[in-house]
Structure 1
Amino acid sequence: MASFSSRSRTSSLTAAMLLLLGVIFMANLDMTGAQVGICYGMMGNNLPPATEVIALYKQHNIKRMRLYDPNQAALNALRGSGIEVMLGVPNSDLQRLSNPSNANSWVKNNVLNFWPSVKFRYIAVGNEISPVNGGTSWMAPFVLPALVNVFNAVRAAGLQDQIKVSIAVDMTLIGTSYPPSAGAFRGDVISYLAPIVGHLSYAKTPLFANIYTYFSYSGNPRDISLPYALFTSPSVLVWDSGRGYQNLFDAMLDSLYSALERLGGGNTLDVVVSESGWPSAGGFGTTSDNAGTYLSNLIRHVKGGTPKRPGKAIETYIFAMFDENQKQPELEKHFGAFSPNKQPKYNLNFGGHRNWDISTEQNATVSRKSDM
């Protein structure tokens, strides 16, 4: 009897340990799955209403959203959803928010009036502003004051640890990207970026960066292979200072890290990938197979970090939730992970119990009342 009792206790203890390990494993799955969100763009005249969009995020276990402006219908639909939000300050508001009073009002109306029922994670002050881009250069002088003013408004509300305030840049600001260890910003944007990087370091806030391997590949297919851009290369293609690069995404992100280090960001300034995606039509190399391959590999890959910062999950936002038929040029209409009728275009997994089953989803009965 004694030996049976001992075996029973051992078996019970083993079962308990296995259960605990299972819980930890599932928690880690949820944590890594939550690293990836989707950008909710609204430039389409056939998109579902915001309440249905939020339900779609929840249905597919998409736990983070980038929202490009404080759309009131979307913010109200987000109440109580548990979805973490990166809220955008539109470029058109930057000049106005360079006035502290206006920034305080903006934060009150669009953040504090919804907090905490809406889980704001970040505020992105402007998107892809560049002092050397003719279309946005006039806005560049307003970015830093708007950034600081919005940060101060958030801090005055005591929320600076919960809601981080930053800006979103694109990779055109990089002057040297190869090899990644030599990454450096263009000389003519340093005076614009240096004080911004200094503020972000002070505020312990990541920089947001829109990183598209598609545009690098389509602009230079002679030197950049499709497998390297799609995460499907079977071996390392680039060696740099003892680091091996098997995909272009890591090389681009590490070149940005190197550029930030050269600008005084040190090894402490993180990068959140605020956009990344691949179009399914409209241009060179745009197929559904390529887009689905890129997105599914991106979701898996960002759990593990880059050669320069290994083992550190990369918070990433896929662009975009839907195909948006009012965007230009044609290529820009085909970045959606979903069609406007809410059907998934690809088999993707956001940390739930199964991949999206496209065949099952398309055979399901869905509401089409919002379609046009």
Structure 2
Amino acid sequence: MASIFANTKEPFLASMLLLMGLLISSAGKTAAQSVGVCYGQVANDLPPATEVVDLYNLNGIGRMRIYNPNPATLEALRGSNIELVVGVANEDIQTLASDAAAASSWVQQNVRDYLPDVKFRYIAVGNEITPSDAIAPYVLPAMQNIQAAVASDQIKVSTAISLSLLGSSYPPSAGSFSVTASSYINPIIAFLAETGAPLLANVYPYFSYLGDTENINLNYALFTAPGVVVQDGNLEYQNLFDATVDALYSALEKAGGLNVDVIVSESGWPSAGGTAATVENANTYYSNLISHAKDGTPKRPGPMEVYLFAMFDENQKGPAVSERHFGIFSPTKQSKYQLSFA
């Protein structure tokens, strides 16, 4: 900073420039911190949790999502200042829904025992549950029991959905939940609106592109379209990510969730194993998504919270080969891309 002000003779001007510099630095830090990375562990060749946490810190990744309260991960996170989204495993939901004491025990064992050393941000009760799943009726009661148990700790409780719950998504303003999904998701949305919690959503332009390569341009999916692709009233869309998230916001509004925020709890692009799954395309997608997170969407401008999927390639995922190639790092901790989180 000294070199910047070396020739500044007016102390007041120097002070103002210094203040502006600090504000810019703070804004940059906030934008970077809005992007986290999912730490999936469906693999048998991953490094120890302590080394994973070190890798997050080394790369300036300030937020993590895990899918169950793995004790080794929680211990490794102590004192790290990494903000955490911790999941309730799908197979535990029915028990926690049926027994408030079990929910209290889950919170004590997996959250309170690590406070304040671990910075819990959200608890995600289940991942990508659909209305036809046997555990679907238990999701909201489990959320309510967990919320009651964790209320004094001021940690928000939500669930992570897939966009398959949408019945309509084009144009974004026409976004709505399907008739089948509404009976499942609407009461959850009412709970989120009441508690001030966000809805977590897994958003994958890659899979949308894969499902309709004739009508969806690859550049539109990769944030590289040169101009407006979709005009929706007075809103203009240059990328599929924004259009998808705003379709979800439209659906939320129609379902009574006008003030419910969306957290993108997963988004990624594979580097191998499928159509357009290349290192180059994945690098383009992740880089552009990190940069774009500070801007938000046309419908909801401003910084948005996004979690990249995933930290590592996971060799036991499937059945599609591409599912094993979503990592931004290899299991040897080598970076696959040129990404900057700081």
Q: TM-score range by the shorter chain?
A: over 0.9
Q: Which amino acid counterpart does residue 307 of structure 2 have in structure 1? A: Y
Q: Distance in 1 between matches of 2:285 and 2:318?
A: 22
What do the CA deviations read for 1:21-73 (whole angstroms, capped 9, x no partner)?
11111111111100000000111111100000000000000000001110000
Partner of 1:176: 168
- Equivalent residue of 1:23, what SS? helix
Q: Which residue of 2 aligns with 1:16?
A: 15
Q: How does 1:180-219 map to 2 (within 5 A)?
A: 180-219=172-211
Return the letter of the residue paired with 2:312.
F
- Output aligned runs, 1:28-67, within 5 Å: 28-67=27-66
Secondary structure in 2 matching 1:113 = helix
Q: CA shift at 1:10, angstroms? A: 5.5
Q: How many residues get paired?
A: 334
* Equivalent residue number for residue 82 of structure 2: 83
1:92 maps onto 2:91 in alignment:
yes
Whichever residue aligns with residue 159 of structure 1, its letter is: D
Task: State the alpha-carbon separation in 2 of the partners of residues 341 and 10 from structure 1.
Answer: 52
* Runs of at least 5 residues in structure 2 that lack an aligned partner in the other structure: 1-6
% identical equivalent positions = 55
How many Å separate the matches in 2 of 1:204 and 1:340?
A: 37
C-alpha displacement of 1:302 = 1.2
Aligned-partner Cα distance in 2 for 1:20–1:9: 14
Q: Which amino acid aligns with 1:53?
A: V
Task: Tell me how far apart the structure 2 counterparts of residues 277 and 189 of structure 1 sit (CA, whole Å).
Answer: 24
What TM-score comes out, normalization by structure 2 length? 0.96
Aligned with 2:273 (options 272, 282, 289):
282
CA RMSD of aligned residues (A): 1.0
Specify the alignment match of 1:4 in structure 2: none
Please tell me whether the aligned partners of residues 50 and 76 of structure 2 are also in contact (alpha carbons under 8 angstroms): yes
Letter in 1 for 2:243: A
Amino acid at match of 2:297: T
- Which residue of 216, 239, 243 maps to 2:235? 243
Equivalents in 1 of 2:303, 2:179: separation in Å? Answer: 30
Runs of 4+ in 1 over 3 A off after TM superposition: none
Amino acid at match of 1:314: M
SS at match of 1:138: coil
How far apart, in 1, do the equivalents of 2:8 and 2:102 lie?
66
Partner of 2:114: 114
Kindly name which structure, 1 or 2, has the bigger radius of gyration based on alpha carbons. Answer: 1
State the secondary structure of the residue aligned to 1:13. Answer: helix
Secondary structure at 1:76's aligned position in 2? helix
> Which residue of the other structure, out of 326, 333, 336, is the alignment partner of 1:342?
333
Unaligned ranges ≥5, structure 1:
1-7, 352-372
Note the alpha carbon deviations across 1:269-321, whole angstroms, 9 max, x for none. 100000000000011110000000000000000101111112x2110000000
Aligned mates of 2:51, 2:70 — CA distance in 1: 15
Counterpart check, 1:159 vs 2:150: no
Shift of 1:261: 0.5
Paired residue type of 1:242 = N
